[in-house]
Structure 1
Amino acid sequence: MVLDLRVCFLGESFVAGVGDQKGLGWAGRLATRAIAAGQPLTFYNLGIRRETSSELRTRWEAECKRRLPEGADCRVVISTGVNDSVHERGLPRVDPVESVANMDAILRRVQGNHWHPLVVAPPPNVDPAHNHRLEVLDEKFAQLCEGLGVPYLRAHQPLLENKIWMQDVAAGDGYHPGAAGYDEFAALLVPHWLLWLADPGSGLPTLR
């Protein structure tokens, strides 16, 4: 009997793969690597460009319930925060306290539905001030996930130090990389992703 493993990817443009000439983003690359490793799955990319965590909070559960039926092994991967921390008229689109509250509410509902969550940190861009705000949010998300027992992959700092990612982002719109950058993002996540697929309750090594 083939296991009915289903994964919903939730988040913003990086989840959707904006800028990727291959049309996969890091989410599609993770799914491809899982299948190549002998782990068949059904994956759904539910990323929306420019969406904040507040907007995600209002729509995610109804969309996931259509795709994650009872009896399946249901997983939810979440990555948000970049749009929250964009400044408009001198203020972030979403206050950091609200961003954390949104993530908390989403994760509690994921767990309440008996689905397995995994959170990926928001990636960096070419704006140092924005990256500083993202680093603060990254730390807050990490603390929240630790308290809830949810695996959290701290990809922000490794990508900030990754020359290929940063060069690819700079060559684009300053936020989104091309295929080479998404390759780097996915490669960073793959070992942890495969462990989590094999056993979501085993606990993951911290990615810093």
Structure 2
Amino acid sequence: MTRDLRLCLVGDSFTAGVGDETGAGWVGPVLAALRADGTDVTGYPLGIRRETSLDIARRWYPEVRARLRDGTDHRVVFSLGANDVSAPAGRRRVPQERTLEVVAGMLDEAHAAGWPAFVTGPPPGADAGWTDRALALSAAMAEVAASRAVPFADLAGPLAGDPAWAEAVRAGDGVHPDARGYRLLTDVVLPPLRAWLT
């Protein structure tokens, strides 16, 4: 039987490509690269702006189930955490311990459904506080994923000290990068995702 991959990419505004004037974000280029590899993939971007892990946990399962009716290979990418580490009122929106509980629960649900999962952490921000929180959460999320043999892509670590990322975020809205920043995200996500799929 020919492989027919259905890939749901669940997340927040970064998954939706907010700020990218081309509209592609990182999801579009990743899917295009996979197709160029010869992978027959149908991708479903399921990003919603301002959603925390708690919001995503409430909606992800029925949305994914509705899209994984067909195909021969069903998988889920969880890309979250940016809104958890956001602290608009001086306090992060979701405590790190709670985020980790939510991520673990979603991975367990995906496993029970027979859907292999892949996780990315939050990208760094324009200010040091955001970036520090993103780095800490990303490291902890990587441990949760590893404990379940789920591949993880750290976005914060590779981009935190990259002046091109900082410039792309400044050129965007101060949180989301412009198209140049999304190309950097694509460069970080694609290699481990490609390895996971092949």
**TM value normalised by structure 1:** 0.91
Which AA in structure 1 matches 2:142? Answer: A
Provide the C-alpha distance between the structure 1 equivalents of 2:71 and 2:33, rounded to a whole number of angstroms. 24
Q: What's the CA shift string for 1:124-169, capped at 9, x where partnerless?
A: 1111011111111111101111111110111211111222221110
Q: What's the CA shift string for 1:55-104, capped at 9, x where partnerless?
A: 10000000000011266201111111110111243321111111111101
Which AA in structure 2 matches 1:94? Answer: V
Unaligned runs of 5+ in 2: none
Q: Which moved more, 1:181-190 or 1:111-120?
A: 181-190
SS at match of 1:66: helix
Instruction: Indicate whether 1:180 and 2:188 are aligned.
Output: no
TM-superposed deviation, 1:3: 1.7
Which AA in structure 1 matches 2:169? Answer: V
- What count of residue pairs does the alignment treat as equivalent? 198
The 4+ residue runs of structure 1 with deviation greater than 6 A are: none
SS at match of 1:118: strand
TM-superposed deviation, 1:30: 0.6
Are the equivalent residues in 1 in contact too, given 2:81–2:99 (CA < 8 A)? yes
Partner of 1:155: 155
Partner of 1:118: 118
Provide the C-alpha distance between the structure 1 equivalents of 2:115 and 2:5, rounded to a whole number of angstroms. 11
> Which runs of structure 2 are paired with 1:16-95 in the superposition (5 Å)?
16-69=16-69, 72-95=72-95
User: Are the structure 2 counterparts of residues 88 and 166 from structure 1 closer, same or farther at C-alpha, using a change threshold of 3 Å?
Assistant: closer
Provide the C-alpha distance between the structure 2 equivalents of 1:95 and 1:188, rounded to a whole number of angstroms. 26
Provide the C-alpha distance between the structure 2 equivalents of 1:89 and 1:34, rounded to a whole number of angstroms. 40
Instruction: Indicate whether 1:134 and 2:134 are aligned.
Output: yes
SS at match of 1:3: coil
Provide the C-alpha distance between the structure 1 equivalents of 2:47 and 2:93, rounded to a whole number of angstroms. 18
Provide the C-alpha distance between the structure 2 equivalents of 1:26 and 1:36, rounded to a whole number of angstroms. 15
The two structures, once aligned, show a CA RMSD in angstroms of: 1.3
Partner of 2:100: 100
Provide the C-alpha distance between the structure 2 equivalents of 1:71 and 1:187, rounded to a whole number of angstroms. 27
Provide the C-alpha distance between the structure 1 equivalents of 2:62 and 2:180, rounded to a whole number of angstroms. 33
User: Are the structure 2 counterparts of residues 134 and 56 from structure 1 closer, same or farther at C-alpha, using a change threshold of 3 Å?
Assistant: same
Partner of 1:6: 6
Q: Percent identity?
A: 37
Which AA in structure 1 matches 2:101? Answer: A
Unaligned runs of 5+ in 1: 199-208
Provide the C-alpha distance between the structure 2 equivalents of 1:177 and 1:76, rounded to a whole number of angstroms. 24
**TM value normalised by structure 2:** 0.95
